[in-house]
Amino acid sequence: MAHSSSSHHLHHVGNWMPADHKAHKEWLGGIIQEVDDNAPLHPVLQEFQTLIETNTRIYMLLTSMFKEVPRRKRYGHDPTGNPEIRDYPHFLQVLNHLLTTAPSWTDKSHRVGLVGLPINAVLDWPMGTPSGYAAFLDPDINRMIKKILNVWGDFLRSPASAYVLGSSEHGWFGEMGRRDLTAVARIGPVAATNMQFGDMFECDPDAENHGFTSWDHFFTRVFREGIRPVADPEDGKVIANACESRPFRLVHHVNARDKFWIKSQPYSVLDMLGHDSLASQFVGGTIYQAFLSALSYHRWHAPVSGKIVKAYVVDGTYYSEPLFEGVGDPHGEAKEIDMAGQVTSQGYITSTATRALIFIEADEPAIGLMAFIGVGMAEVSTCEITVKEGQRVNKGDQIGMFHFGGSTHCLLFRKGVNVSGFPEPGMEENVPVRSRLAVVS
């Protein structure tokens, strides 16, 4: 996949974050100016503070990670040379502010500055340090982050979060936001039409915020009937695209276990599937991976018709990135935090991040057992599965969704399943959900 010198982490690939340093710094600086350092911390952040101050290991890691951010202008330092986020008490105050804000859209001087992952934006530099690497693999820290994100999720489901959807400069339905939301969805069968956002999604274009009552309501929006038809619904050999996404990687003959944390990011099947008893069946098989844009549709759909064998969520990390992407590069290749970092780290997070596992026994014998993995990223850690074990699904049926954002997903096929015809990684636009993805013979 092509790397951009102006991109940094995985979220830049899917337009989750501003595309350049200046837009990121402007956003972060604006947020920090709004923070009231004297505001009482939310109870969940008081709990986090207590954990930090009573656990020596966590205190050391979170104190060190802010100190390890390079003292260079590009990393968002103020005019005195101090980091924008100075220490963990300051970080907690910034989190306190963000728990009552929703992901915003801005456009300044025609430079799009989309901040779909505000907490991730705050941690963009410190999580790439050696101490940040250790901190965001720590089980106790991840359990605490999960609690914090659940609180934030409650806000994003509330009517108060809908303020960012308006037609103002910071609104998703402002001129630029609405234009880009429409452009991303105008692919596949509707590519050549003049359809607008309201024509493609279930909403009321004449109502305030198009009738969406919260940020989460908008984010989990649904296509109108017929906009994304199911590919060859009666042909079991045709596999439908499970997510509206851009192809990232296709690998055959995958290993049972591999060093997924090294620079080549090999897939490690047993780790990806959480050492499930069914995981060994996929050793030597095929993995297709694709990522979701911040502007995309975020529900998942069954790639085949069949029976749900298992469906559950594996708890994992939220802000972990490989050590080689940051200032802690053990090979000495990164003199500073790599701005092309997690473009390729999607392989890594398939084994570490919070993720949904759905095993489907396809009706088509040539496919048999296959697996879907929906991988949460940063704030996008809520993977909601909407099917149950033993349930029958038809190709194209909804099986779940990402909340508060999106990330990446994988389809796994067993060794011996001859599946081909996948789209080429690196293409510029999404493959429409439920469209023809591949075929098995």
Q: Domains (ranges, CATH) in the chain?
A: 10-158 (no CATH), 164-213 (no CATH), 238-318+353-440 (2.70.70)
DSSP string, 107-172: EETTEE--BS-HHHHHHTTGGGSHHHHHHTT-HHHHHHHHHHHHHHHHHHTSGGGGGGGSSSTT-T
Query: What residue type is 201 in one-letter code?
Result: F
C-alpha–C-alpha distance, residues 299 and 406, integer Å: 9
Give residues with Cβ within 8 angstroms of 109, minimum separation 6: none
C-alpha–C-alpha distance, residues 58 and 107, integer Å: 38
Tens-digit pLDDT string for the chain (441 aa):
333 333 334 444 445 444 555 555 555 656 666 676 778 999 999 999 999 999 999 999 999 998 887 765 555 554 444 456 778 998 999 899 888 888 877 644 334 445 456 677 777 778 878 898 899 899 999 999 989 988 998 999 999 999 889 877 668 898 888 888 999 999 999 999 999 999 999 999 999 999 999 999 999 999 999 999 999 999 999 999 999 999 999 999 999 887 666 666 688 899 899 999 999 999 999 999 998 887 889 999 999 999 999 999 998 877 777 765 554 444 444 444 433 333 347 778 888 888 999 999 999 999 999 999 999 876 556 799 999 999 999 999 999 999 875 578 999 999 999 999 999 988 888 999 999 999 999
Nearest Cα to 72, choosing from 59, 82, 62? 82
Write out the two tokens for 251: 């690998």
pTM here is 0.85
C-alpha–C-alpha distance, residues 65 and 62, integer Å: 5
Cα dihedral sign, 378-384-389-394: negative
